[in-house]
Amino acid sequence: MKNIKNEIEHIVEQACAADTNIFGYNIWTHHILQVVENGKQLAPRFDANPEIVEFAALLHDYASIKDEALYADHHIHGPIEAEKLLKRFGYPTEKIEAVKEAIATHRASVTVVHRSAEGACLANADAMSHIEGVPSLLYLAYVHHGMGIDEGRIWAKAKLQRSWRKLREDVQNIVRDRYEAALKIL
């Protein structure tokens, strides 16, 4: 299993390093790895399978990293890409289904009726990374989207607030200080 994980890590990191990745290599160092770490930390709270959470975290934004055109629906393309990769390495089918399910429900901007424990854990780990990564949000706003000072500030604040609402109450308590400090500045 460790080998499959290493392969997947390598593939996702390579995709992050590619010129075609519009987010830049930062998305690997400042988002994907954080979501993996947050997922490990949160898995016991959600009674989630840590292995499923880890694969889902590694692959949750992979579709949009690979192809900008897939960003808008990356929760739909993500599971398809994840299945292709995991199948190639002989990962068990029922585990692939669990990874796909978690990726399909990870977004705050898309209404989700019900999530698996792993899906809920991933969604919280993803949102937590946005709250912990205010400099990354500002980088996205000012450098990537080329926004002006106030436009970027308002955009980052709205994104933070969406991420906050996505967190379960006990997870909000973990990052409450950072969130409140960020809101004061923004």
Residue numbers of the site for Fe ion (CB under 5 A)?
A: 61, 126
Distance in Å, CB of 135 to Fe ion, minimum: 16
Nearer to Fe ion, 23 or 91 (CB): 23
Distance in Å, CB of 101 to Fe ion, minimum: 15
What is residue 71's DSSP assignment? S
> CA torsion, points 160, 137, 155, 169, in degrees to nearest 10?
-10
- Taking CA atoms, 139 is separated from 26, 59, 136, 151, in Å, by 10, 22, 5, 13
Distance in Å, CB of 28 to Fe ion, minimum: 12
> CA torsion, points 42, 94, 79, 127, in degrees to nearest 10?
-10
Nearer to Fe ion, 90 or 174 (CB): 174
Nearer to Fe ion, 68 or 93 (CB): 68
Token output for 106: 């990870």
Nearer to Fe ion, 49 or 129 (CB): 129
Distance in Å, CB of 69 to Fe ion, minimum: 15
